[in-house]
Chain A
Amino acid sequence: MSNLRKKLEARTPVITGELTPPKGTDTKQFLDDAKTIGKCVDAINITDNPRASMRMGSLGGAYLLKQINIEPIFQITGRDRNRISLQSDLLSAWTMGIENVLVTTGDNVSAGDHKGAKPVFDLDSTQMLYALHNLNNGKDLEGNPLCGATGFCYGAAVNPFLTPEELNFIRIRQKIQQGVSFFQTQPVFEIPVFESFINAYNDLQKTVPVIAGILILKSAQMARFVNSNISGIRIPDNIISGLENSQNQLEYGISLAVDLGNSLLGMVSGIHIMSIGLEHRVEGIINAIKGRTD
């Protein structure tokens, strides 16, 4: 059983990190970063060609982490794979010892570096979860029996800030019905809005653990870039001006991540730290977040 599943089932606070495989075949930096954050998080998400920019695959990246005894969360999107390829990659992942999966829809190809590519989206995220539910129960999407089932701990993404809220909760209930073990959220910057979301979430008849996202901001420039280019994330103006007016924008961003972590850990089952080049600061942030329990 994966460490992530054990902690989720025990309702022990979980901390996950995130890494993106390299654009190319030189994996040294990727593995160095994995070792740096691997010692202070429970598992590391390996992203699947984020923003539709072609890189080394998340399956390969997750496998490399397994080789150095770091627990990966294999991210998989339906943008580049049809249902045959999705299920096939999931079977491969399981046989490679990868036990955690995060399903996301995937950014559209127009966001990436191969804009003329054909977007697949044969299955949406709910249907991918349905496929995972089947694979864990020893059959494929068509109900054909497998010789050897998977036993994934699989989760889905949720955007706490998606409106209308009622529609967001229809999506969330659908995903819970498909047997997800956890949700990971988009980065949170507005605690009161998130709190309102999590209160409504906790009122659901059935819930699963939520791991809240924290994106470490390096500068006001980065915050503006995120607002303009990454869908589903909104960094409020007061944070951008706070960064801008600070003497050291990076330290302001680190301190903000710590504050967000403190607030969020009191509300949810875990936090997910997106460090993007600041992997060497992750341990310090985690240590500074109060209420950390193992």
Chain B
Amino acid sequence: MIITSAKDKKNLLCVLEGYRSVFLVGCGSCATACNTGGEKEVLEMQEFLEHNGKSVTGWIIPDETCQQMLCRKELRVNSRQVEDAACLLVLACGAGVQSIGSVIDDKPIFSALDSLFLGNVERIGKYAETCSMCGNCVLNKTGGICPVTRCAKGLLNGPCGGPVDGKCEVNPDNDCAWILIYKRLKACGRLDKLDDITLPADRQTREKPFHLDTKKRQ
């Protein structure tokens, strides 16, 4: 899921300066699971804004705020409250913010969260980035452990010279991804996969922005 964190609320007040009324949008999916954009956080934001002299005209929490059609529908249902607001504040990932922006084009849309990464949930509140969605997956060669993401330097042919006791030189809290890969491949009898070098990645797969139309693809 997309891991998000709340922006500093004082800075948020600076962003909202000059706007007296706000309509809030949360997200029923990732941001709810992250405790950054669910009902509790939306209501806390309402209280905070009202305490600081703003009026909150209403709020919605679409099941998935990145779904543009869903957002369009929910905003239409709440059109009067949206109309009364001078701006919208979205407690969702960047895709959610822009999903709202694709529906509302005559009011400022602000983001209350920072989008951090695509993360695995180790437990509630503890997330780990394991995939960068690079479009060039090397997991079949690397024992299912992604060096693009889990090696601080994204190295494709083994570790740099820096790991100490299996830990990354950049952040010793992290395991060296390449030592994990080595151990996994060795345990599976697949260490020979590292004999041939991996050639430079095709970064064209990172040319932004991406679009995928599965109908066109077929």
Report the Cα distance A157→B160, complex, angstroms: 10
Q: Is B58 an interface residue (CB 8 A)?
A: no
The smallest C-beta distance from B217 to any residue of chain A, in angstroms, reads: 27
Contacts of B164 in A (CB 8 A): 231-232, 234
**Of residues 118 to 172 in A, which have CB atoms within 8 Å of B's CB atoms?**
119, 121-127, 130, 141, 157-159, 162, 164, 166-167, 170-171
Q: Is B153 an interface residue (CB 8 A)?
A: yes
- Name the one of A79, A104, A127, A167 contacting B159, with C-beta atoms under 8 angstroms: A167
Since A124-B153, A141-B200, A231-B169 are in contact, a sample of 15 more A-B pairs with Cβ atoms closer than 8 Å, ordered by chain A residue number, is A110-B170, A119-B153, A124-B157, A127-B197, A130-B200, A162-B161, A166-B191, A167-B158, A167-B159, A170-B194, A186-B161, A231-B161, A232-B164, A232-B169, A234-B164
Report the Cα distance A231→B160, complex, angstroms: 10
Contacts of A123 in B (CB 8 A): 200
Q: Is B156 an interface residue (CB 8 A)?
A: yes
**Of residues 210 to 238 in A, which have CB atoms within 8 Å of B's CB atoms?**
231-232, 234
Q: Is B154 an interface residue (CB 8 A)?
A: yes
Contacts of B155 in A (CB 8 A): 105, 121, 124-125
Contacts of A83 in B (CB 8 A): 200
Please state if A178 and B159 are interface contacts (CB–CB under 8 Å): no
Q: Is A207 an interface residue (CB 8 A)?
A: no
Contacts of B154 in A (CB 8 A): 121
Q: Is B195 an interface residue (CB 8 A)?
A: yes
Please state if A105 and B200 are interface contacts (CB–CB under 8 Å): no
Contacts of B203 in A (CB 8 A): 122
| 18 residue pairs A–B, Cβ–Cβ below 8 Å | A83-B200, A121-B153, A126-B157, A127-B156, A127-B157, A127-B200, A130-B199, A141-B200, A157-B161, A167-B158, A167-B179, A167-B182, A170-B158, A170-B191, A170-B194, A171-B157, A231-B161, A232-B164
Q: Is B59 an interface residue (CB 8 A)?
A: no
Report the Cα distance A83→B203, complex, angstroms: 11
Please state if B169 and A174 are interface contacts (CB–CB under 8 Å): no
Please state if B169 and A127 are interface contacts (CB–CB under 8 Å): no
Contacts of A108 in B (CB 8 A): 152-153, 169-170
Contacts of B156 in A (CB 8 A): 124, 127
Please state if A162 and B163 are interface contacts (CB–CB under 8 Å): yes
**Of residues 167 to 218 in B, which have CB atoms within 8 Å of A's CB atoms?**
169-170, 178-179, 182, 186, 191, 194-195, 197-200, 203
Q: Is A88 an interface residue (CB 8 A)?
A: no
The smallest C-beta distance from B147 to any residue of chain A, in angstroms, reads: 9
Nearest-neighbor residue (CB-CB) of A109 within chain B = B170
Contacts of A124 in B (CB 8 A): 153, 155-158
Report the Cα distance A174→B157, complex, angstroms: 8
Among A119, A177, A186, A231, max chain B CB count under 10 A is at A231
Contacts of A111 in B (CB 8 A): 170
Report the Cα distance A125→B160, complex, angstroms: 8
Q: Is B135 an interface residue (CB 8 A)?
A: no
Report the Cα distance A177→B162, complex, angstroms: 22
Contacts of A177 in B (CB 8 A): 197
The smallest C-beta distance from B129 to any residue of chain A, in angstroms, reads: 15
Nearest-neighbor residue (CB-CB) of A105 within chain B = B160
Contacts of B157 in A (CB 8 A): 124-127, 171, 174
Report the Cα distance A162→B170, complex, angstroms: 15
Q: Is A35 an interface residue (CB 8 A)?
A: no
Q: Is A5 an interface residue (CB 8 A)?
A: no
Please state if A171 and B152 are interface contacts (CB–CB under 8 Å): no
The smallest C-beta distance from B201 to any residue of chain A, in angstroms, reads: 8
Nearest-neighbor residue (CB-CB) of B157 within chain A = A126
Please state if B153 and A174 are interface contacts (CB–CB under 8 Å): no
Contacts of A167 in B (CB 8 A): 158-159, 178-179, 182
Q: Is A81 an interface residue (CB 8 A)?
A: no
The smallest C-beta distance from A90 to any residue of chain B, in angstroms, reads: 15
Nearest-neighbor residue (CB-CB) of A160 within chain B = B161
Please state if B162 and A232 are interface contacts (CB–CB under 8 Å): yes
Contacts of B178 in A (CB 8 A): 167
Q: Is A173 an interface residue (CB 8 A)?
A: yes
- Name the one of A79, A105, A174 contacting B197, with C-beta atoms under 8 angstroms: A174
Contacts of A105 in B (CB 8 A): 153, 155, 160-161
Report the Cα distance A171→B182, complex, angstroms: 11
Please state if A126 and B195 are interface contacts (CB–CB under 8 Å): no
Please state if B197 and A130 are interface contacts (CB–CB under 8 Å): yes
